[in-house]
Amino acid sequence: MATDKVYNLIILDESGSMDSIKNATISGFNELVQTIKGIEKQFPEQQHFITFVTFNGLGIKTHLDKEAVKSLSPIDVKSYQPNAMTPLYDAIGLSVLKLKVDLAGQENTSILVTILTDGEENASKEFNGQQIKKIIDEQKEAGWTFTYIGANQDVERVAATISITNTMKFNANDADVQAMFAKEKSSRFSYSQKIRNKEDLREDFYGKEDKDTDPGKA
């Protein structure tokens, strides 16, 4: 019987600039769900749940809310339609605070927050960068793990402004998106191994060698 509950919060950019890599992103997300299902089988003491949020200037949508991974279905072009601008801070603030409230008082939980965007913040109305940094700092102190995957930006610098040190960058093309999701999947296996071994989960999620998926880099 599972004794550890693992909540995977995935915050995915659905702004217009993501349209060029839409199909690769959909495929990568669906493969990631299959990976988490496999992790649950490999680590039977763990029960995994997914909250899946997409965001753009037209709104922030919660597609899945703490759903058991074993019951999930793939997403498709109907449920993921890139458009408009990038309210990144609002997406992070609203989804993280909701999950914080939902999980209050629960024990034996691990929370992994993954933020994936190909552009910087440009449209938030409810949160600013300082507020998001404070929220993330507080949840890191509570043991949450935050990761930031980005393209078309100085990923480490942007992530550092909101207190995230687990970063990975990719180029906005199909090949790099596939490579990025492959590294993301392998890192999740390592994360579950750390849960089993009762290790610190907050830092070095991608490992020193896995921060850059640019095939032109050594």
Q: Digits of tens for pLDDT over the chain (218 positions)?
A: 668 999 999 999 999 999 999 999 999 999 999 999 999 999 999 999 999 999 999 999 999 999 999 878 888 999 999 999 999 999 999 999 999 999 999 999 999 999 999 999 999 999 999 999 999 999 999 999 999 999 999 999 999 999 999 999 999 999 999 999 999 999 999 999 999 999 988 889 998 644 444 433 32
Which pTM does this prediction carry?
0.93
Q: What is the pLDDT of residue 17?
A: 94
If one counts every other C-beta atom within 10 angstroms of the C-beta of residue 92, the result is 29
| pLDDT of amino acid 71 | 78
Task: Look at the block and give the residue holding tokens 């393209």.
Answer: 151
pLDDT of residue 74: 86
Question: How far is it, in rounded angstroms, from Cα 197 to Cα 109?
Answer: 14
Q: What is the reported pLDDT for 218?
A: 29
Three-state DSSP state, 110: strand
Number of CB atoms found within 10 A of residue 143's CB: 12
- Please give the pLDDT value at position 215: 36
Q: Which residue has the tokens 């603030």?
A: 93
CATH 3.40.50.410 assigned to domain 4-197? The reply is yes
CA 193, 1, 110: angle at the middle one, nearest 5?
40
CA 125 to chain centre: 22
Q: Residue type for 218, please? A: A
CA dihedral of 97, 153, 24, 18, whole degrees rounded to 10: 70
pLDDT at 1: 60
Residues forming beta bridges with residue 149, ordered by sequence position: 116, 168
Pure H helices in 20-78: 22-42
